[in-house]
Amino acid sequence: MEKSVLIHPSVQLERTGTSTRSGIWFVAIGAALWGIDPLFRILLLKHLTSSQIVLFEHLLLLVYAVPVLWLHRKELRGLAIRHVIALLFISWGGSAVATIMFTSAFAYGNPNAVLLLQKLQPLFAIIMARLILKEKLPTLFPLLLLMALGGTYLLTFGFAAPVGSMSEFAAASGLLSIGAAALWGGSTVMGRVLLNKMQFETVTALRFTCALPLLFATTWFEGDKLQLPVGTMDWMALSGNLLLQAALPGLFSLLLYYRGLAGTKASYATLAELLFPAVGVLINWLVFQQTVTVVQIIGFLLIWFMLFKLSRQH
């Protein structure tokens, strides 16, 4: 699917030390760690806004990013325009805006629907690969697109027509989640461009660091005051959630994901990423008592079947 941005396999595997088989597992484990994201993010929304959560998360990640960028500073020389554009896309779009949209979606709608809609990411990645990399679209793409749209509708509204105030909240949550999926799907394409130039550790560090100016501006213009807890125990819980959110579904998951992506076909990575919504829905069921409806399962299966058909094509 992304043949035009791949380097030669022998060079690629030598650079990352990752075989195709182990690369799939790196992608899968990274995606599984994304699934535990609601465990921290939903609790943080009780005290902080979406922008504040993402800003604090990225500030904590500077502990990793600054030393890595210093050690790998030679890789930053000679960046072409396409590398700068790709870097801005994954940092401002994928790391800042998409994460804010994803966090906000939990405040409006069903958390399971928010998670399951993230399986639209590969669809947006294919469209961007066509527009940016001039790759040919897969066979029967219009039909598969309609199938994905049908699954998206069922995940957002169910079988009922979108009427009433509840549907407005569902629509807002769905649009925010789909917007995050689009930006993250595009970030996959842009990430492959950067991985041809630098190591996966450097890409991860740049993604976190370059997002900070936009996050500071967004939080400043929102003007919302911090709703900080009063008690010592609440302070410790908030700090612990922020630290775990930044470390597990933030830093560690992306390191694993980029390492695996550098040596894995996008079609294989797409199926491995199914662990993201699967683990997320499981967490919501066990911790937040959010059950999955039959309609959501039908919508998810439509999207999954679309992805399965895409993965079997070049």
Span 23-75, pLDDT tens digits: 778 888 888 888 887 778 777 877 788 888 889 889 999 999 999 999 999 99
Lowest mean pLDDT, pick from 49-53, 111-115, 187-191, 239-243:
111-115
pLDDT recorded at residue 146 = 79
Ramachandran quadrant class, 206 (left: phi over 0; alpha: psi -120 to 50; beta: rest): alpha
Whether residue 5 has pLDDT greater than 70: no
What gap in Å lies between CA 281 and CA 175, rounded to an integer?
A: 19
Domain positions in the chain are 3-311
For the chain, give the percent of residues with pLDDT over 70: 77
Per residue in 243-296, pLDDT (tens digit) is: 888 888 888 888 888 888 777 766 566 667 767 777 777 777 777 777 777 887
Provide the pLDDT confidence category of residue 8 given band limits of 50, 70 and 90: very low
Alpha carbon 271 to its chain's center: 15
pLDDT of 99: 84
pLDDT reported for residue 7: 35
pLDDT averaged over the chain? 76
Mean pLDDT of 212-227: 81
Q: How far apart are CA 184 and CA 100, in angstroms?
A: 12
Name the residue with higher pLDDT: 198 or 130.
Answer: 198
Q: Does residue 221 surpass a pLDDT of 80?
A: yes
Helix 37-44 and helix 275-287, axial crossing angle in degrees, nearest 10: 50
Cα 211-216-221 angle, rounded to 5 deg: 130
Return the structure tokens found at 121. Answer: 């990411």
Half-sphere exposure of 131 (CA within 13 A, CB side): 9
In this prediction, residue 72 carries a pLDDT of: 92
Assess whether pLDDT exceeds 50 at residue 12.
no
- Locate tokens 């749209």: which residue? 149
Q: Lowest mean pLDDT: which of 5-14, 92-101, 227-236, 239-248?
A: 5-14
The CA distances from residue 114 to 179, 260, 281, in Å, are 11, 25, 10
Return the higher-pLDDT residue of 22 and 185: 185
Q: Which pLDDT score is estimated for 15?
A: 44
**Phi and psi, residue 234, nearest 5°:** -65, -40
pLDDT in tens, 148-171: 778 777 766 666 655 444 556 567
CA distances, 124 to each of 38, 66, 230, 296 (Å): 23, 31, 43, 21
- When pLDDT is cut at 50, 70 and 90, the band that residue 172 belongs to is confident
Highest mean pLDDT among 121-125, 133-137, 305-309: 121-125
| pLDDT at residue 314 greater than cutoff 90 | no
Give residue 2's pLDDT. 35
| Mean pLDDT in residue range 4-13 | 37
* Cα–Cα distance, 182 to 26 (Å, whole number): 22
Q: Residue 102 pLDDT more than 50? A: yes
Instruction: Compare 227 and 216 and report the one with higher pLDDT.
Output: 216
Per-residue 3-state assignment (H helix, E strand, C coil) for the chain? CCHHHCCCHHHHHHHHCCCHHHHHHHHHHHHHHHHCHHHHHHHHCCCCCHHHHHHHHHHHHHHHHHHHHHHCHHHHCCCCHHHHHHHHHHHHHHHHHHHHHHHHHHHHCCHHHHHHHHHHHHHHHHHHHHHHHCCCCCCCHHHHHHHHHHHHHHHHHCCCCCCHHHHHHHHHHHHHHHHHHHHHHHHHHHHHHHHCCCCHHHHHHHHHHHCHHHHHHHHHHHCCCCCCCCCHHHHHHHHHHHHHHHHHHHHHHHHHHHHHHCCCCHHHHHHHCCHHHHHHHHHHHHHCCCCCCHHHHHHHHHHHHHHHHHHCCC
